[in-house]
Structure 1
Amino acid sequence: MRNSIEQIKIDKSVIVQTALQFLQEHGIRKLSMRNIAERLEIKGASLYWHIRNKNELLELIADEICKKIKYPDESLSCEEQLAVLTRQLREILLNVRDSAHVLVETPPTTPYRINLIKKISGLFEKMGMKSEDIFSASWILNNYVTSFVIEEYRLNDVTDEKEVSQSLEALPFNISSMDMDREYQFGLEVLIEGFKSKLK
């Protein structure tokens, strides 16, 4: 265990960065307050002094993920800005193991995440979407990105482990050679065209 002088250096930012590293190495199933305390070489009680529970830790990880997003040039059209934002989010979620699961399992209550939601909803408003449709559009867009990335996780596991079943092999397309960037862009374009059809 760390001595008292070393423990003073532990704060929320250190804990979150440690948790992100652990998540990258071991995945969300093994992420626990106990494992993070062990990684930091501190007692569990010291960790709980900074963070109430695992749920709060996951919320802070989600906020750190959203913090990485750089907002696009406002001279771009609203549709282009939405595309840039969601492509960035997908890239970040693919780079941080199981981070899409973190977003799905946590409420949007932290600063950077709330700012991202406000940015996206503001773009829908600027597009001319009716106020009662803005939440629906934002929710659908969020679900598309996180669900798509979670499916990418699954497909990577299947192709990496070479466990494609006979039923999958019987499909009229080869999932092991899919261009996921193209598939993502196709779905995003369909969504944006659908959103445009709902404008005032």
Structure 2
Amino acid sequence: MNKGKLILFIGAIVVLLFFAYQQFFGDASAGTESGKQDWQTIALTLQEDNEKLKKENTSLKQKQADITGDQQKLSKSAEAFLRGYFEYDQNSDQNLKNRVAPYSTQKLLNSNVIPTTHIEEGGAEEGSNDTPTTIVAKISKLNIYHSTMTNTSASVYADISQNFRSNNIQNTSELIAKLTFVYDVSKQTWLVDTMNIQPALPEDRIN
């Protein structure tokens, strides 16, 4: 091989090596950039998912807080009504209907569940020698259990122990009451719409 051909041969090898170098390291660089883009996409997706989960968690906590708040309002309305109904002093001027009216619908007030007169309005007949009966009733135990609840209606069960004192005689009644409610938007409160009361049998008591 003469000198000119040798130079051409060496030049051709150099050119081939150059293109091989470009091809190899160019692909490696492109692969690195592609890998970076893939990781950036994954990281962005994870961040978006994390933000979404945070929002959902916040929303669930708010809903739970709203439910808890509504249940507390319902319990307060139930307790106020039940104490108005079952707690009384015969010497008080306020009758049953007036006591429960703020917590009741007109439907309930017009029903026979809320009589116009009540036991605490009794007493000895005029001209008799009998000692006037003084009746005082108090709730000694009250447990309220939520049954159903929507935005506009609800129901609860109440486990009640009511203590009576008539003159010097005391007695206790064990009762189970079911109350249904409607939500009064104008008053922003729960009102008792129906009530069913029955004596509590031993197996009915909720411990």
**TM-score category (smaller protein):** under 0.3
Using the size of structure 2 for normalisation, the TM-score is: 0.23
Larger RCO, structures 1/2 (Cα 8 Å, 6+ apart): 1
TM-score when normalising by structure 1? 0.24
Q: Which structure carries more strand by proportion? A: 2
